Structure 1
Amino acid sequence: MEGRARGSLPFVGMIMVVLAQAGNMVVMKMAMSDGINKYTMVFYCNALSSLVLLPCPLIISRRSGSCPPLTFAVLCKIFLLALLGFAAQMCGYVGIDYSSPVLGTAMMNLIPAFTFILAIILRMEKVNWKSWSTQAKLVGTITSILGAFVVTLYRGPPVLRSPRPPSVQPHRRLPFLLLQQSNWILGGFLLAAQAFLLASSYILQAFILKEYPAVLNLMFYVMFFLTILSGLLSFITARELQSWILKVNVGLIAILYSGVVAVAFGSTLGTWCVKRAGPVYVSMFKPLGIVFAVGLGFLFLGEMLHLGSLIGALVIVMGFHTAVWAKSKEEEKAIEGSGVGGSFASSSHDTPLLQNQASSV
């Protein structure tokens, strides 16, 4: 019973992570529609996250005595992880500015495919194409991606109108009418690039956590490097003093939410889930984000709820449930075969990289 409860923790954690990320896309869209500079906003968010995580390497690890040595080789890998994260951040913010949170979360459905392909290439994921569980994972992932395309490409008649007035201009929030416009296409390419960069970062996280399993310390160093990188870009692109002045408006709320909830909490929790369950398991939750984005956009951006959104959300949930169910069956079978209990890990039990780490967070 205790092993089952421990195994459910990554599931609950990833639900919280996806909800935090979907909410971040919505508040960032509101802030950018209100006129805040996207580059300075990224810098402030990263700086705030670094401050929130600062006590981790100074207090928590020293008190527990579980902090592994930080070698130069590990530090270089952490910097590379921060570089991937910074590139993903910029692609995501600019892509959402050109499109919408719904398209942003829809493109995140490419992450499971990218992660799965990279994991197979690097032999981090064991694949048995004749196994029903592998086939179920593939069917579930493909179904979720198809559901995301339904949400993005088919709007259908309006089912329910939002109680809030639209917070962005109609031409910026109607994906169906923008499929042929250059900004929308550019936003889609940037968001697809973000999905690939995030998938690559999940793989790299798994490698780093093998050598340096202190999740909170790892995230602090990542956010520290992100702050430096985003600060350099902001000073180059935003030279007007007005771009750096914060006001008590939706921009400040977006920075506080993104820095504390989405990045400091969400990214750290997501890294812990990578450590416990592996990058493929974590990536399977991304299709669920579009369900949250549609609902949050309805409540806070004044977007109407259309039939296509409802149908696509239902398809996504079905695919997501199928993939996670197949993954859980793989783990139960592996646990029964080994005769030991434990939490969800990657299906690659022959590969030590993705096995469950016993060290503490």
Structure 2
Amino acid sequence: MAGVGTSAVAGWKAPTSMVLVQLFNSGMILLSKVSISGGMFVFALLSYRSVFGAIFILPFAFIFERGKWRDIDWSATGWIFFNAFIGYAVPMSLYYYGLKDTTPSYAVIFTNIIPLFTFVLSLVFRLETFKLRSKAGLLKIVGVLVSVGGTMLVSLYKGKSLHLWNSILQHQKEQQTKSATNQLRGTIFLAGSSLTFACWYLVQSKVLKVYPYKYWSSMVTCLVGGFQTAFVGTILRRDKNAWKLGWDLNLVTIVYSGALATAGKYSLNSWAVAKRGPAYPPMFNPLSVIFTVMLDSILMGNDLTVGSLIGTAMVIVGLYLFLLVKA
């Protein structure tokens, strides 16, 4: 009986850790939206977040990959620099500006179509093949079409608004209303972010070949990404007030994003991949849509609409079709 109980607990560890990852991601999106709507400079948020992420990952690198920093050569340095640019500086800048123009429940949809973009790019560059006439191939195509259709439905159709509860943070709703002024521009930014993230997955596979130490690679990538965004940020805005940190929600957002949405998320994902394989973590991505949509409505007061609910359901169904099929 004791063995059965231990086995049951062990069986719950992997799904519980993945649920936590999605909660971390939803919290990061909501906090970032509040900070950006409150006037925080996007590149300051990006710079500080990545530096804090590097600080939190560093102990894991020292513990699990002791001394491996000596293996970073010029080839690895070049790929890590490009990895930070294509995997953090560009996509996160686009994502935050897209988030600024839209809402958390809208922006989170685009993080969940990244696997679909990755799949399409893999086909274009012949990194992945599948038989179109096979059942698995057809289901993957259907999954892509359903998810993209759901995203377009959320973008183009609102429908009836559903006022299910009152906003807890009414002031934040007013700030969001003022900041979310251009959904078309935000959609372009978010789509560009998803496409760039998809490119990053292809680059990441190359980085791991030339430097196969995940913790050191992630730590250095965060650090380099922080310097890249800080460099661009200082060109765009040299006002010292834009870079000041105080004991406020902006600092909470930065620490949360670095500790939980970066270091915590990476560590739990790595553990889950080691236990269940690389296809396991993405299966939980749709949960971030559900968590973010619900929390955005409850906390920020953004209305749930018929179009957003149907579109979100389509994205989730399409993503599950895509991820659960083994071609």
- The match for 1:188 is 187
- Counterpart residue type for residue 238 of structure 1: R
Change (3 A) 1:123 1:56: same
Does structure 1 residue 233 correspond to structure 2 residue 232?
yes
- Checking the alignment, whether the CA contact within 8 Å between 1:205 and 1:274 is kept in structure 2 is no
Q: How many residues align?
A: 315
User: 1:86 Cα deviation (Å)?
Assistant: 0.7
Matches within 5 A, 1:212-361: 212-267=211-266, 269=268, 289-327=288-326, 330=327
| Cα distance between partner residues in 1 of 2:151 and 2:238 | 38
- Checking the alignment, whether the CA contact within 8 Å between 2:35 and 2:250 is kept in structure 1 is yes
Structure number with greater CO (CA < 8 Å, separation at least 6) is 2
Matches within 5 A, 1:1-361: 16-62=20-66, 69-84=71-86, 85-159=88-162, 160-166=164-170, 167-169=172-174, 172=177, 183-267=182-266, 269=268, 289-327=288-326, 330=327
- The match for 1:355 is none
- Counterpart residue type for residue 74 of structure 2: F
Give the secondary structure class of the aligned counterpart of 2:71: coil
- Checking the alignment, whether the CA contact within 8 Å between 2:37 and 2:175 is kept in structure 1 is no
| Cα distance between partner residues in 2 of 1:39 and 1:323 | 34
User: 1:232 Cα deviation (Å)?
Assistant: 1.6
User: 1:46 Cα deviation (Å)?
Assistant: 1.0
User: 1:271 Cα deviation (Å)?
Assistant: 6.8
| Unaligned runs of at least 5 residues, structure 2 | 1-8
| Cα distance between partner residues in 2 of 1:108 and 1:83 | 18
User: 1:148 Cα deviation (Å)?
Assistant: 2.8
- Checking the alignment, whether the CA contact within 8 Å between 2:76 and 2:211 is kept in structure 1 is yes
- Any idea what the Cα deviations from partners look like across 1:292-327, whole Å, max 9, x if unmatched? 321121122122223333323333332233223323
Change (3 A) 1:165 1:51: closer
| Cα distance between partner residues in 2 of 1:80 and 1:6 | 38
| Unaligned runs of at least 5 residues, structure 1 | 331-361
Change (3 A) 1:271 1:237: farther
- Checking the alignment, whether the CA contact within 8 Å between 1:107 and 1:191 is kept in structure 2 is yes
- Any idea what the Cα deviations from partners look like across 1:229-285, whole Å, max 9, x if unmatched? 12222333332232222222221221111111112222555577789856x887676
- Counterpart residue type for residue 83 of structure 1: F
Change (3 A) 1:25 1:113: same
- Any idea what the Cα deviations from partners look like across 1:89-135, whole Å, max 9, x if unmatched? 11111121122223322333442332112212333222111110121
Q: Where is the helix percentage greater, Structure 1 or Structure 2? A: 2
| Cα distance between partner residues in 2 of 1:162 and 1:29 | 19
Give the secondary structure class of the aligned counterpart of 1:310: helix
CA RMSD for the aligned pairs? Answer: 3.3
- Counterpart residue type for residue 69 of structure 1: D
Give the secondary structure class of the aligned counterpart of 1:128: coil
Change (3 A) 1:148 1:259: same
Change (3 A) 1:192 1:121: same
Change (3 A) 1:189 1:310: closer
- Counterpart residue type for residue 155 of structure 1: K
Change (3 A) 1:222 1:268: farther
- Any idea what the Cα deviations from partners look like across 1:139-184, whole Å, max 9, x if unmatched? 1232223223333333332331344244233883898xx6xxxx32
Q: TM-score, normalised by structure 2?
A: 0.82
Sequence identity (%): 26
Change (3 A) 1:18 1:198: farther
Give the secondary structure class of the aligned counterpart of 1:104: helix
Change (3 A) 1:140 1:273: farther
Change (3 A) 1:73 1:295: same
User: 1:21 Cα deviation (Å)?
Assistant: 2.7
- The match for 1:354 is none
- Checking the alignment, whether the CA contact within 8 Å between 2:283 and 2:324 is kept in structure 1 is no
